[in-house]
Structure 1
Amino acid sequence: MKLLVINPNTSQDVTRLIEAEASRSIRPNTELTMATAPFGVAYIETRAESLIGGYAAMQIAAEHYQQYDAIVVAAFGDPGLTALREIMPIPVVGMTEAAVLSACQQGGRFSVIAISQRIQAWYRECIASYGLEGRLASIRALDEPLQHIGQVQENQGERLIELGRRAVEEDGADVLILAGAPLAGLARSVADRMPVPALDGVTCALIQAQAMVDMAAQTPAAGSYTQPPTKPCQGLGAPLAALVGRQPVDA
């Protein structure tokens, strides 16, 4: 099994964190390929940044998907996830959806522990889009600027743990999600310090991507996720234009 793991952020340090956790979450016969957004922002916090990251993820996926069995969008908030599912003939799994669905299987309500205050609105909207806002106990986030996105765990680890404990004690969370690619691997390392299960979106997404390949779901021939209609495209690279417009760019 071959999986393409896309970091829609531009930070190579974050990609390395994702890869380290992803490598712990795969079977012996599963191969990983990591890809980092060639444009955009170091870490996504806003709706606008999410759209840019989603476009970067679509471009990477279009260029490489034929070599893989499934794709993982490795950013909390799932930039471009539903659009990728619409055009890809292979399974596409997102960190947020995978984490919140896994959380719902382990408890009644879950809390998200995030790296910034600004990110909260986008996270809430994403969770609501999956119909799970009623299961969200809270989002708790760091409240100071990040000095280095690749060192959030080292610099803010104790504060993140405290936010998790408060979410359990004050918000009634049954499960914690340590959100965002910069926190990849943290849930595994602090699980014994948390009073409830702590989930990592990378872990959840990799496990579910492998399961989706195992299920060998049929590519839809009808419904809203069937192939897009044929139409002219302009300004897109040929691989993406072939998927979005169903014809060459110069047609």
Structure 2
Amino acid sequence: MTRHILLINPNSSQSTSAMMQAIAQRATKNALAVAVATAERSPAMIVTEDDLLASAEEVVEIGLRHAADCVGIVVSAFGDPGLDDLRRQVAIPVVGICEASMRVASQGGRPFGVATTTPLLVDAIAARARALGFAELLTGIRCTAGDPTALADDKAALTQALGEMVEACIAADQAQAVIIGGGPLGEAAGALQPRFSTPVISPIPCAIAFLLEQIPSARREAPIVAATAGE
């Protein structure tokens, strides 16, 4: 058994899981290995509030199944489904990518926006900001046009469209930081960061950093050991 972090993908896409796991592993800076567990009952990409709410039950199930084998858990969907319930039921740290990225984006009272691809999740994102106490700092949520799933399949188009939303958050909404709102958008977030002088926030690294703060024994010089989380 390895000491590792578990990343839960509430979407059912294995390719998305692999991408998010790679981002999370880089973000640990060799502190711990990252294992990934993928939901089976959700769509490949959560794009509606009903999907988000329905995914919470399986997130909790996965977390409870693996909690004894890991030192911390990341819920890697932007609505943080199941986060609060899972956190109450396990003795290890649990963080969500929305929670963590909003903490970073709002540092020092900084107004921030969200650029994402899922217009049907705007209300859920705004509700999450309210629940976390950041509603007054949220300048707006800008969404790309068209089908989110189709856009996610075209990396260049996805990055271009999200970049336009980042520009709108900054220029029109006066955001001083912009979160790329979604676990499946992790690669696009990384690609956009160098293009703007305004901070562009990638949620998965934020969640890893927040989690490591809560694991005192995590040593940055520790070697990475491959970890898996079989279902």
**Normalized against structure 2, the TM-score is what?**
0.88
For residues 66-81 of structure 1, the aligned pairs below 5 Å read 66-81=68-83
The answer on 1:115 being equivalent to 2:124 is no
Aligned with residue 206 of structure 2, among 204, 218, 238: 204
Aligned with residue 169 of structure 2, among 167, 184, 199: 167
Native 8 Å contact 1:46 1:122 kept in 2: no
Q: Compute the displacement of 1:150 (Å).
A: 4.8
Structure 2 Cα separation of the partners of residues 79 and 65 of structure 1: 17
Structure 2 Cα separation of the partners of residues 209 and 158 of structure 1: 30
Q: Compute the displacement of 1:148 (Å).
A: 3.6
What SS is found at the alignment partner of 2:42? coil
1:84-122 deviations in whole A, cap 9, x for unaligned? 111111100000000000011166200000112112111
RMSD of aligned Cα (Å): 1.8
**Normalized against structure 1, the TM-score is what?**
0.81
Native 8 Å contact 1:174 1:197 kept in 2: yes
Q: Compute the displacement of 1:153 (Å).
A: 3.3
Native 8 Å contact 2:179 2:203 kept in 1: yes
Among all aligned residue pairs of Structure 1 and Structure 2, give the percentage whose two residues are the same amino acid: 28
Structure 1 Cα separation of the partners of residues 169 and 85 of structure 2: 32
Relative distance call for 1:149 and 1:92 in structure 2 (3 A) is: farther
Aligned residue pairs, count: 216
Structure 1 Cα separation of the partners of residues 213 and 187 of structure 2: 21
Structure 2 Cα separation of the partners of residues 215 and 47 of structure 1: 37
Give every structure 1 segment of 4 or more consecutive aligned residues whose post-TM-superposition deviation is greater than 4 Å.
none
The answer on 1:52 being equivalent to 2:51 is no
For residues 1-251 of structure 1, the aligned pairs below 5 Å read 1-105=3-107, 108-148=110-150, 150-214=152-216
Stretches of structure 2 that go unaligned for 5 or more consecutive residues are 219-231
> Which one is further off, 46-55 or 126-135?
46-55
Native 8 Å contact 2:48 2:118 kept in 1: no
Pair member with larger Rg: 1
Native 8 Å contact 2:159 2:191 kept in 1: no
Name the structure, 1 or 2, with higher relative contact order (CA <8 Å, separation 6+).
2
Q: Compute the displacement of 1:11 (Å).
A: 1.1
Stretches of structure 1 that go unaligned for 5 or more consecutive residues are 217-251
What SS is found at the alignment partner of 2:8? strand
Structure 2 Cα separation of the partners of residues 167 and 161 of structure 1: 10
